[in-house]
Structure 1
Amino acid sequence: MKKFLVFLFSMFSVQLPVVAEELSVNNQVDFANAQWNKAFNAGDVDALTQLYKNDATLSPGNGAILKGRDAIGQLFQSFVDNGVTNHRIDTDSIYVSDNQITQIGYWQADGKNAEGEKISFGGVLSLVLAKTEEGEWVIQSHIWNMQP
């Protein structure tokens, strides 16, 4: 399947702009991933949280489920404050139905360990995009784990 332009967690706008119908699903996923990555890597948590629906859910692989933009923003702010950067996404699979696109893939980012040394880490992610009544794609659900 084609990649869906997003995001990553690498470009921004308050919400993903309406994407022309002629764009392929892969291009939409790729765009969405680029928007997400741009916002996160710039440390712009406000722009990042605007990519999520107001009632979005997020599970960061620790058994918790965060609900809503405020809770999601607090988590991402903690990552930014702790020096996590260079986030990227590699799409593996895309599933489409009606006004929803689900992406399964891999993520990777850089940070620092307790000694201040650069480290890389990553894992698997699942991201569900929902099309709003205005025709914009926003994140409804985001789940990831971290590989040891």
Structure 2
Amino acid sequence: MKKLFNILAVIGFIATGAASSAMADDTDATVVLNTVNATWNDTFNSGDSNALAALYAEDATLSPGNGTVLEGREAIASLFKSFVDSGVHNHTIETINAYHQQDQIVQIGKWQAQGTNEQQEIITFGGVLMTVIEKNADGQWITQSHIWNMGQ
């Protein structure tokens, strides 16, 4: 419940514009976010869904924009395995804005990936994402919550 309250509090700060500072003003947080995103993209693009799920907290939540919420690493690994098995690759993340407080970073960004259509042609697709990244007890930055949608 405490983690949920923290996430809701950060989202509330974003909505009211009261977040402590934008990432552009904080070099350390920017470096963390760039590293987290690069690791996430590299791991997804390697096709290792279990390694990708390990970048999430044990009790992480993820919503792939279809009205469902997945909970935990096993469910997250299963979803990403289905994407990899379907040929999704070349994933990238572009941060649009991010906010931080202490050991938590909230990112809003754009994502893009490639796959193939029924004619086996390469297509590019993407959308908007929001992630909540927290420093765990071991000092590692992991994803606590991840939500995305898909644009036209």
Moved over 3 A (4+): none
1:145 aligns with 2:149: yes
Matched with 1:2 is 23
Structure with larger Rg: 2
* TM-superposed deviation, 1:98: 2.2
User: What are structure 2's unaligned runs of at least 5 residues?
Assistant: 1-21
1:45 aligns with 2:66: no
- Matches for 1:81-92 after TM superposition, within 5 Å: 81-92=85-96
Matched with 1:13 is none
Of all paired residues, the percent bearing the same amino acid is 52
- Amino acid across the alignment from 1:123: G
- Matches for 1:20-39 after TM superposition, within 5 Å: 24-39=28-43
Return the structure number with greater helix share.
2
1:66 to 54, 70, 74: 70
* TM-superposed deviation, 1:44: 1.0
Matched with 2:4 is none
Number of residue pairs the alignment of both structures matches: 130
User: What are structure 1's unaligned runs of at least 5 residues?
Assistant: 4-22
Q: Is the 1:110–1:118 contact (alpha carbons within 8 Å) kept by the matching residues of 2?
A: yes
TM-score (norm 2): 0.82
1:111 aligns with 2:132: no
